[in-house]
Structure 1
Amino acid sequence: MKPLDPRLIRRSGAARGFLAAGGAVALVQAVAVIGFAYGLARIVTDLVSGVPLTELGWAMLLLVGCVLVRALAAWVWEWSGAAGAVRVKAELRRAVLESVDRGAGEPGGTGRLATLLGPGLDALDDYFGRYLPQLVLTVVAMPILLVAVWLADPLSGLILVIVLPLLPIFMALIGLATKQVQQRQWEGLQQLSTAFLEIVGGLSTLVVFNRAERQLGRIRRATDAYRGKTMRVLRVTFLSGFVLEFGASLSIALVAVSIGLRLVSGEMGLFAGLFVLVLAPEVFLPLRNVGAAFHASTEGLEASGEALDRIEAGERADASAVRAATMQASATSGADGGAALRLERFAALRDGRAVAAPVDLELAPGEVVALVGPSGAGKSSLIAALLGFAEADGEAWVDGVPAGPAARPRAAWAGQQPLLRAGTVASNIRLGSERAPEALLEEAIAELAVGLDPAHLVGPEGVGLSGGQQQRVAVARAWHRVRAEGLRLLILDEPSSALDADHEARLAAAVRRLADDGTAVLVASHRPALVAAADRTVELREAARVAH
């Protein structure tokens, strides 16, 4: 976990403005702290020396003025942090929604997106309100206070210079553990939100088929998992807080003991000793506060990192579309030697690392190829990368067009999530090809959605249909698009995961007939019926296993 994501600062004008203003406030706050220490040390020293209190008016005014300046600076930090968080969240949400509108970004369903745009980015309040101010104070104020201590007492300054670097080392080690547990907690929150939204969306269907009670276990398991991950985050938080407090207390104690011994022996004056004793805790305070606020900010950093990944994916998609547009005029069907799909050392990436071993594949029209492999091997990730929904490495062409957003119009596909919209069964099947002949709709229903009424109303996210019915409608839509648009490639991702044996056999037969008519079909599945209908299979292996 980076203490400061440079992408966030580079992309957000509000974040840059917050840092610029924060640097000035931190400078003023450092000067106020030095003035407070000087005034307090002068008052105590003069009183011990017998100076009348009436002659210390200037020191009292300095003391009170510095206290007021520090209070004002704290208020400015709080106000600017809240305002900065609001502006940055608005910028990120707007950019993410624009990326979604362009069809870019990782497909995760409405649950994942709602979690990101809602509670995920809202966690940036703690980042800007608590963590970032202390980070700026650490960078700006701490060196100034350290110089002041060194000038007043070089020995105390040397002690602080030696012990201060130890605390960031401890913070870095704990930060590595925090990153892992915080990522798991963020994933648990997304899974819980997705499960809840999916159940709410299909509640009417679950009630009709008397399956609502069975979903309680799913919500309970997701809730328990999120609770356990949250407790692990809290344990790491308490451990890091203890380490920072213990280390800072020992360091201050070293300075205090050194000053006490020299005061007793007469090697050090009372004013310098008091001045350093007041400043020593202030030197450590910003660093201690950074450690205390770090854990509160990590969820916001996780969410902002995912938001920035989506935004950058959208920008890469736009750049890819521009490049592909220059090639589109010369790219015709079969321009790459007749292959409807060609992969050369192609692999999907997640966090910059390959999900599975690179794939080489050439898929010709009339051929059915099955992507097989254990769950989690990367079948869905590979398809997402082909369509520009995920990062990729290597080369790929979809009907002569480089893989990515620009290649989506060259293929029809149905993903694991049906992603149906409110309307009728017919309107969902005809989506994107509304001008196709009515007979084509009837043929699609006869092939893949037999038994479904075309006029049946469907709610958002497929409410009103069972999971298997939603899947059949989604596959029928892809089949309809191939026929209506004359496409040469059909991509199916686990199209029979919710189907019974009879409907799966019907799907396999329909896929085979479509291929016999000249369409290339790529299907990711582990179901025997679909795999048996394929001309050949491509087994995906996990990248970690390949590395060994």
Structure 2
Amino acid sequence: MRPLDPRLLRYASAARRFLLIGALLGFAQTLVVIAFAWLLTRAITLAIAGQFVGEIIPTLAALAGVVVLRSVLIWLLELAANRGAAQVKSQLRALVLAKLADRGPDWVASRQSARLSTVVTTGLDALDNYFARYLPQLLLTVIATPILIAVMLWQDLGSGLTVLIVLPVIPVFMILIGRATQSVQQEQWQALQRLSTGFLDVVGGLGTLKIYGRERRQFDRIRSITEEYRTRTMKVLRVSFLSGFVLELAASLSVAIIAVSIGLRLIDGALLLGVGLFVLLLAPEAFLPLRQVGAQFHAAADGLAAAEELFAILDDEAVPAATALSSALSTVPPTADAAGARTAAPVEQLGPRPGSGSGALRLAGVSVLRGDTIVIDRLHAEFAPGELSVVRGVSGVGKSTLVAALLGFVPVTGELSLGGVAVPAGPGRPWLAWAGQKPGLFRGTVAENVALRAASADPTVPDQMAPSRTVPDPVLIAQALLWAGAADVSPATVLGVNGDGLSGGQAQRVAAARAIYRALANDCHVLILDEPSSALDAAAEAGLLAGLRRLADQGRVVIVVSHRSAVAAEADHEIELQELIHV
């Protein structure tokens, strides 16, 4: 990543504000540095000249004021940097989480979940050092160093030329050290990613490992990866300390050359004491920002590496997938079930957006591609309101893919409409409530899990812009649990991480209750449940089906993906997906 990536300014408006504020504070700090050097030089020359204390006191008072002002400016710059870092991290997290939601579970599953989690959490937190340490010094290098060199050239041409000659030595060291630092820092980041991924995999399969007595082997593996990460961290620290020493040495030698030159000319009488002392005080300040940029590069390297991966996520586009789908379909002949069906162009949003109270959900020639395989080829189906529809088929035939297409998580071709209005591409589905095969419960009460994000009719509207976001309705929560066949689960039950505290069947019914609650609270016209009763006994399944029947009787489109015979027996409409034969 470059010292200041333009994508950071494009994706985070807070970064632009910080750069503006930082530039103003940096300019003010530069003027204060010049004033400090001039006032200190004047105070010393007056004292050497034998002036009375009364004549020196105003200069000393002004000098004290400048010192206080410089401290305030440094504090303000640090405060702006910390606040800017917090705001930028918040904006980038919101963008990447929205991007993950927009891409859907298939896209996320194609990446390592632990890697994504590390980037969004620990990785972005490392941007604190980038904003608090590295970026302010970068701003001062651009603003303060040229101004200070110009002042030195104005006061003493020889010293100014000396600075111009020796100053490029520091960037040369910075480039050499920066490459080494970036290399070891990248290795450390990769080791952290491996550690996060390995640990998450072990935690996810700990039960299975324990049953088969293989947990010790994984323990040794995690210990080995941890040791590797520790070793690389110590290597980064060694390189960081060495780089700091080299840059300090180069800057000190450069200032020493200027000091020797000034001293010789003062002895010779070719330079006035006031000018020489003033220039000598400015020389370290001219080198300081550039020296600090190199020294603080290692502190920002973690954040830069994480930001690079985050920008890769934000820059990723789904257009190639849709293009590949259209290209693949053009080379595949129609199947026997789809003979005579036409392949329509990708859907575009025309007219008003569908909402509650709409008619049937229709699919005309809908096709879905996953990877290089066509999973659904020109499917024609209609889901009518007031009916309980069931989608069936053997494992792997594309039932979950069809659900993902209805949710807008995968690119499709063909016509998808609700009540005669084309459904736009993307995951925006305010008219739809859904529960997947995994319950996806979080730490909190059952009531909080059921009422998750259901008070706002549009999930894309931020919290502060959603006036309908109110306290969850306890009566509606109880009704949703009842219709999900989970009346025996108390809304006040406190759950652990991943819904710990409930059985598999109870967690499944709570997830179904969440979808039912959203449908009731937001008047969603379509409800989709993916294998909602796979872990239920006959009694619990009957309770859930009774609740779904009530929802259908309210005029909603209710779609259930299931292989259970009891669900098929209760259905008004059944769609059997056939496995495609790929030649």
Q: Following superposition of structure 1 onto structure 2, how do residues 137-156 of structure 1 map, counting pairs within 5 Å?
A: 137-156=140-159
Structure 1 residue 130 corresponds to structure 2 residue 133: yes
Q: CA deviation at 1:307?
A: 1.1
Q: 1:362 to 1:248 in 2, by over 3 A?
A: closer
Is the 1:248–1:284 contact (alpha carbons within 8 Å) kept by the matching residues of 2? yes
Q: 1:434 to 1:191 in 2, by over 3 A?
A: same
- Residue in structure 2 matched with residue 115 of structure 1 by the alignment: 118
Q: How far apart in 2 are the matches of 1:282 and 1:293?
A: 17
Structure 1 residue 299 corresponds to structure 2 residue 302: yes
Q: Deviations 1:378-420 (Å, cap 9, x if unpaired)?
A: xxxxxxxxxxxxxxxxxxx99999xxxx899xxxxxxxxxx96
Q: CA deviation at 1:148?
A: 1.2
- Residue in structure 2 matched with residue 526 of structure 1 by the alignment: none
Is the 2:182–2:298 contact (alpha carbons within 8 Å) kept by the matching residues of 1? no
Structure 1 residue 196 corresponds to structure 2 residue 199: yes
- Residue in structure 2 matched with residue 159 of structure 1 by the alignment: 162
Structure 1 residue 336 corresponds to structure 2 residue 331: yes
User: Which one of 205, 209, 215 corresponds to residue 206 of structure 1?
Assistant: 209
Q: Following superposition of structure 1 onto structure 2, how do residues 96-495 of structure 1 map, counting pairs within 5 Å?
A: 96-103=96-103, 107-313=110-316, 316-317=317-318, 319=319, 334-338=329-333, 486=577
Instruction: Give the residue type in structure 2 aligned to 1:77.
Output: L
Structure 1 residue 54 corresponds to structure 2 residue 48: no
Unaligned segments of structure 2, at least 5 residues: 336-370, 376-410, 416-424, 428-436, 441-503, 509-526, 538-561, 564-574
Say which SS state the counterpart of residue 17 (structure 2) adopts. helix
Q: CA deviation at 1:139?
A: 0.7
Q: Using structure 2 for the length normalisation, give the TM-score.
A: 0.59
Q: 1:185 to 1:48 in 2, by over 3 A?
A: same
Q: Deviations 1:436-461 (Å, cap 9, x if unpaired)?
A: 999xx9xxxxxxxxxxx998xxxxxx
- Residue in structure 2 matched with residue 85 of structure 1 by the alignment: 85
Q: Deviations 1:296-321 (Å, cap 9, x if unpaired)?
A: 111011111111111111xx22x557
Is the 2:152–2:282 contact (alpha carbons within 8 Å) kept by the matching residues of 1? yes
Instruction: Give the residue type in structure 1 aligned to 2:265.
Output: R
Instruction: Give the residue type in structure 2 aligned to 1:335.
Output: S
Is the 1:153–1:272 contact (alpha carbons within 8 Å) kept by the matching residues of 2? yes
Instruction: Give the residue type in structure 1 aligned to 2:53.
Output: L
Q: How far apart in 2 are the matches of 1:111 and 1:24?
A: 40
Q: Following superposition of structure 1 onto structure 2, how do residues 34-49 of structure 1 map, counting pairs within 5 Å?
A: 34-49=34-49
- Residue in structure 2 matched with residue 386 of structure 1 by the alignment: none
Instruction: Give the residue type in structure 1 aligned to 2:197.
Output: T
Q: How far apart in 1 are the matches of 2:121 and 2:150?
A: 44
Q: Deviations 1:33-67 (Å, cap 9, x if unpaired)?
A: 11110011111111111111211233112211210
Q: CA deviation at 1:363?
A: 8.3
Q: How far apart in 2 are the matches of 1:267 and 1:437?
A: 92
- Residue in structure 2 matched with residue 519 of structure 1 by the alignment: 581
Instruction: Give the residue type in structure 1 aligned to 2:81.
Output: G
Is the 2:102–2:426 contact (alpha carbons within 8 Å) kept by the matching residues of 1? no
Is the 1:335–1:399 contact (alpha carbons within 8 Å) kept by the matching residues of 2? no
RMSD: 3.9
- Residue in structure 1 matched with residue 70 of structure 2 by the alignment: 70
Q: How far apart in 2 are the matches of 1:99 and 1:281?
A: 46
Aligned residues between the structures: 382
Q: Deviations 1:41-97 (Å, cap 9, x if unpaired)?
A: 111111111111211233112211210111001110121111111100101111111
User: Higher helix fraction: Structure 1 or Structure 2?
Assistant: 1
Q: Deviations 1:144-172 (Å, cap 9, x if unpaired)?
A: 11111111110000000111122112212
Q: How far apart in 2 are the matches of 1:276 and 1:333?
A: 71
Q: How far apart in 2 are the matches of 1:333 and 1:252?
A: 67
Q: CA deviation at 1:335?
A: 2.9
Q: 1:485 to 1:259 in 2, by over 3 A?
A: farther
Q: CA deviation at 1:267?
A: 0.4
Q: CA deviation at 1:434?
A: 5.8
- Residue in structure 2 matched with residue 31 of structure 1 by the alignment: 31
Q: How far apart in 2 are the matches of 1:333 and 1:400?
A: 14
Q: CA deviation at 1:235?
A: 2.4
Q: How far apart in 2 are the matches of 1:137 and 1:11?
A: 24
Structure 1 residue 2 corresponds to structure 2 residue 64: no
Q: Deviations 1:243-290 (Å, cap 9, x if unpaired)?
A: 211111111011000000000010000001110111111111111111
Q: How far apart in 1 are the matches of 2:229 and 2:101?
A: 30
Is the 2:8–2:15 contact (alpha carbons within 8 Å) kept by the matching residues of 1? yes
Q: 1:56 to 1:223 in 2, by over 3 A?
A: same
Q: 1:173 to 1:332 in 2, by over 3 A?
A: closer
Q: How far apart in 1 are the matches of 2:50 and 2:328?
A: 98
Is the 1:199–1:215 contact (alpha carbons within 8 Å) kept by the matching residues of 2? yes
Is the 2:35–2:66 contact (alpha carbons within 8 Å) kept by the matching residues of 1? yes
Q: 1:399 to 1:298 in 2, by over 3 A?
A: same
Is the 1:336–1:400 contact (alpha carbons within 8 Å) kept by the matching residues of 2? no
Q: How far apart in 1 are the matches of 2:295 and 2:221?
A: 35
Is the 1:27–1:140 contact (alpha carbons within 8 Å) kept by the matching residues of 2? yes
Say which SS state the counterpart of residue 102 (structure 1) adopts. helix
Unaligned segments of structure 1, at least 5 residues: 341-360, 366-396, 409-418, 442-452, 456-475, 478-483, 488-513, 521-534, 536-548
Q: 1:433 to 1:210 in 2, by over 3 A?
A: farther
Is the 1:127–1:301 contact (alpha carbons within 8 Å) kept by the matching residues of 2? yes
- Residue in structure 1 matched with residue 521 of structure 2 by the alignment: none
Q: How far apart in 1 are the matches of 2:257 and 2:72?
A: 32
Of structures 1 and 2, the one with the larger relative CO (CA 8 A, separation 6+) is 1
**Which sits farther off after the overlay, 100-109 or 123-132?**
100-109
Q: How far apart in 1 are the matches of 2:186 and 2:334?
A: 41
